[in-house]
Amino acid sequence: MAIKTVVFDAYGTLYDIQSVASVTDQAFPGHGDMITQIWRMKQLEYTWLRSLMRRYEDFQVVTRQSLIYTLRILGLRYEDALLEKIMDKYVHLDLYPDALPALTHLQGRKLAILSNGAPAMLTALVRNTGLDRLLDKTISVDGQKTFKPSPEAYSLIESELGTVPSEVLFVSSNPWDAIGAKAAGLNVAWIERVTPEVMAAACESSSLVAPLTMFKALRMQMDELGPAPDHRIQGLCDLAGLLPPIASA
């Protein structure tokens, strides 16, 4: 069956989550990389724990709590104003350079985001980066009060867009998200931005593993959980080879 709808993850797929380092390093010189990696890993961990415990709080709360955890365990003092300044980066994340060309190429199909992000966070981020002009819908898991990779989160695609799973291509660079979407019955393209060969070279180049290298090892390599994505691509622009443009009527 033809792909009629392409749904993207937001954080780490369309938006470079590592771009928060520009504000964390400015706020705490010399600690920016460590803050960025611990913050993201703890943020994801909190989404999974809250889903398992059935104690849902939206992504704004989860993001704030994981940032507070990170600063506390690193012994870094902060005032509320500084915390808010760092948090504000989440509605001004940098787009990956290939995001706009990829979305432009796919015009003619229904395009959407399905994200863990809270509705207000996503609306501001999409508007601030101009993607509101290219997307048909931005869907938050808040509609199901559980985070990806819960199957209930992916069910929002059909209920919100009216497209059956067999006609959807879900795109994510997060391995756990790609596996979750595949387990939920969607066609999946995983963006393999960091290959095992690159990881091996990074680990061999130094006896000390940098925080970003550790993050890539833990969060950007395909997991051993069973379901595999239908497609492995190196970037968003590779979608052009999977989905030809739709001719104008």
Q: Which phi and psi (to 5°) does residue 189 adopt? A: -115, 120
Residue type at 193 in one-letter notation: R
Residue type at 157 in one-letter notation: I
Q: Which residue among the candidates 9, 58, 98, 177 is catalytic per the annotation?
A: 9
Whether residue 141 contacts residue 148, with contact meaning beta carbons closer than 8 Å, is answered with yes
9 has catalytic annotation: yes
Whether residue 5 contacts residue 161, with contact meaning beta carbons closer than 8 Å, is answered with yes
What is the residue-wise DSSP string for 178-207? HHHHHHTT-EEEEE--S-HHHHHHHHHT-S
140: tokens are 């938050």
Paired residues of 139 in beta bridges: 114
Q: Which residues are catalytic?
A: 9
